[in-house]
Structure 1
Amino acid sequence: MRPTASAAMFVIAYCTTGYANDLPPKCNENGSAPEINACAQEEFIEADKKLNHQYKILISNLNSEDIALLRTEQRSWLKMRDPICREESKEYESTTGWIFWFNKCISAKTYHRTEELMRWRTE
């Protein structure tokens, strides 16, 4: 459930923007590319926190068989999310906007997964 792949991509993007020796750019939706990218990164971090919270609630209320099922499902989802978003943001790959579009995609997929987990709880 850790954002390792996307966090690594953020670090790579961050270090290649020329800000590596400065403070990280702050979110500014009307700012420079690094500032806009920071907004998308913050959105993903928030989405991931909500997903982790929902996952913990769900897993605490399941029997061992359902926990195993959920973990398998969650691992499969995680393995698919980033490659799908890399493909969806591929057209921006050589631009400074790539990390923005990638993070918007993983945020959307993470919010959607959180909703799925909420439905899992009510089934």
Structure 2
Amino acid sequence: MKRFTLAGLVLLVSASALADECGNATTQLELNDCAAQQYQAADKKLNATYQAAYKRAAAPQQALLKKAQQAWIALRDADCAFIGSGTEGGSVQPMIVNQCLAEKTVEREAFLASLMQCEEGNLSCPLSP
């Protein structure tokens, strides 16, 4: 628990520093870099939450969770490629794609985190408290 609290604090501080840095971005390259960093931060948090959920899952559930995560990654990537297709070849495309990836990754992390907060007796929740 202490490790998760420390990790959360580090992410909060780094997200705050990133927000300050990105708030001062003025060129498309800087905006693209900020969007990529935001996606990387979201992906790192998702990976930690996924690992925690995977460890909590029973053995048969682990295979199902892994399959679901792989399918979600394919869907996320396809959706964001489609979203970015309107700016194909433009300097703004990396920012658009990375913003999409970050948004969908934050949503998935929240979903997985919610599965680890289920109340006892909730049969629709696959991970026991």
Distance 1:40 1:68 in 2: 32
The alpha carbon displacement at 1:74 in A equals 0.3
Distance 1:82 1:31 in 2: 27
Q: Is the 8 A contact 1:37 1:97 kept in 2?
A: yes
The alpha carbon displacement at 1:37 in A equals 0.2
The alpha carbon displacement at 1:80 in A equals 1.2
Distance 2:98 2:37 in 1: 9
Distance 1:66 1:78 in 2: 18
Aligned to 1:40: 35
Aligned to 1:71: 66
TM-score computed with the length of structure 2 as normaliser: 0.71
What runs of 5+ residues in structure 2 fail to find an aligned partner? 1-20, 119-124
Aligned to 1:106: 101
Matched ranges for 1:82-121 at <5 A: 82-121=77-116
TM-score computed with the length of structure 1 as normaliser: 0.74
Cα deviation code 1:7-51 (max 9, x no counterpart): xxxxxxxxxxxxxxxxxxx85653211111000000000000110
The alpha carbon displacement at 1:94 in A equals 2.3
Distance 2:23 2:111 in 1: 31
Instruction: Give the secondary-structure state (helix, strand or coil) at the position aligned to 1:89.
Output: helix
In angstroms, what is the RMSD of aligned CA positions? Answer: 1.5
| Equivalent residue pairs, number | 98
Amino acid at match of 1:42: Q
What runs of 5+ residues in structure 1 fail to find an aligned partner? 1-25
Q: Is the 8 A contact 1:44 1:107 kept in 2?
A: yes
Greater helix share, structure number: 2
Aligned to 1:52: 47
